[in-house]
Amino acid sequence: MVDRIDAAVEKHSVRVSADEVVLDGDLNLPRGAIGIVLFAHGSGSGRHSSRNRYVAHLLNERKLATLLIDLLTMEEERADRDTGSYRFNIALLADRLVGATDWLTEYKDTRTLGIGYFGASTGGGAALVASVSRADKIRAVVSRGGRPDLAGPLLPQVSAPTLLIVGGNDGPVIEMNRYAFLRLQSVKEMKIVPGAGHLFEEPGTLEEVARLAAEWFRRYLAAA
């Protein structure tokens, strides 16, 4: 089954110009894609994150294209591992997402597809900030164990339908998401996955995240 699915997905290694740097990415294009999801990785993570690659694979099964990129350069990643100086730089991460969004709107195989963001950890806040900058292009946002609160004063300006997914055992992050949820003025939902921790490592919990995200993106990206 996996082989047949993989055969129906075109896979490309791409280099994306964004915010005056060039970022490495993995672009997956299922045959007959109805939209594309750009992943915003969280603290200390990149395009090789096993969790996000798993979610991306399940989105590909549902006819959703995906772009996983490293939001930091190799030098920045090394500095971040030592100092943590980049992972909470929401403005920088959002600028990189905006650049990648513009790239998608110009690339021949993706320019006609509606775009959504899937943010994890601090990437959730960056995705919401970037969605405000490209409100005419971003059709949906999903945050998984994210920090949407880091979008701060921009939360009421978010217009994209937004789904916040949080683990039931991730107490502090639940409260941060409730804070953000109350300030969002767009179409919005908050889903708490029972028994899940911050990283959704418990059996079946990450699959539930992918199911919820796929339903959300198919609803709003297909309409675009």
Local mean pLDDT, 10-residue blocks, the chain (224 residues): 59 89 93 96 71 93 95 82 80 94 96 96 95 97 96 97 97 96 98 94 95 97 76
Strand order in the sheet with 21-30: 9-18, 21-30, 64-69, 35-40, 115-120, 138-144, 162-167, 188-193
Separation of alpha carbons 22 and 181, rounded Å:
33
Separation of alpha carbons 43 and 71, rounded Å:
11
54: CB partners within 8 A, 6+ apart: 206, 210
pLDDT value for 50: 84
pLDDT value for 83: 76
* Nearest by Cα to 170 from 199, 198, 204: 198
pLDDT value for 97: 95
pLDDT value for 91: 93
pLDDT value for 1: 32
Q: At what angle do helices 122-133 and 90-106 cross, to 10 degrees?
A: 60
pLDDT value for 96: 94
Instruction: Enumerate domains of the chain plus CATH numbers.
Output: 2-223 (3.40.50.1820)
pLDDT value for 81: 79
pTM of the model: 0.93
